[in-house]
Amino acid sequence: MIIFTVRGWQIQSDQYTDELLNEWRKWLKQGKLSPDMTYLKDRNRPMILLFLSKIKESGDQAFIPYLKLWGKVDYKKVREEIRKTIDVLENKKPIDVQVVQERTESIKEALKGSAPQDLLLKCWECGKRFPFTIGEQQFYKQKGFTDPKRCKACRNQGNDMFF
């Protein structure tokens, strides 16, 4: 299990919400009409609110069907934020530029002095810790892979090609 500092979680949340947004854009290009939105339920609330904020900032009305699907499966407070996001997109309301700038500055501040580093992950199969090097992290991110769940020994033992 990885435990983030407040600063680390701020950086991770921003990156993860960008990944979610890119995933939705990819779905739109593929013509995916009704993806299962339950994967967003029970996520970290501030991260979800950040995701909705980024959707508002995009101004992309093509996201509205996804938002409506998501609104059917999430909790009341999140549904309200989804409704607000749909309203902003449908009515092309201006976004609060100051809030966006403050968030951007906050992320930049959090990134100062944080050099990439190897991570120590725990294998889901054998329970042993294994290193996830900076190079591996960059490769996984570039390829769009999620972090590995099993150590190399367990992956090799299972002879599967998935991480």
pLDDT digits (tens, 9 = 90+) for 56-113: 999 999 999 999 999 999 989 899 999 999 998 999 877 767 677 777 777 777 666 5
Q: What is the pLDDT of residue 32?
A: 94
CB burial string 83-109: b at 16+ within 10 A, e below:
eebbebbeeeeeeeeeeeeebeeeeee
Report field, pTM of the whole predicted structure over 0.85: no
Claim to verify: residue 90 and residue 11 sit in the same structural domain:
yes
Claim to verify: residue 77 and residue 150 sit in the same structural domain:
no
What is the rounded average pLDDT of the residues 19-43? 93
pLDDT tens sequence across 144-154: 888 888 898 98
Q: Residue 1: inside a domain, yes or no?
A: no
Neighbour-count burial of 63, counting CB atoms closer than 10 A to its CB (0-12 exposed, 13-18 middle, 19+ buried): buried
Q: In the chain, pLDDT over 90 holds for what percent of residues?
A: 39
Q: In DSSP terms, which residues pair with 130 in a beta bridge? A: 121
Containing structural domain, residue 68: 6-111
Claim to verify: residue 69 and residue 141 sit in the same structural domain:
no
Claim to verify: residue 57 and residue 96 sit in the same structural domain:
yes
Q: Is the pLDDT of residue 35 over 60?
A: yes
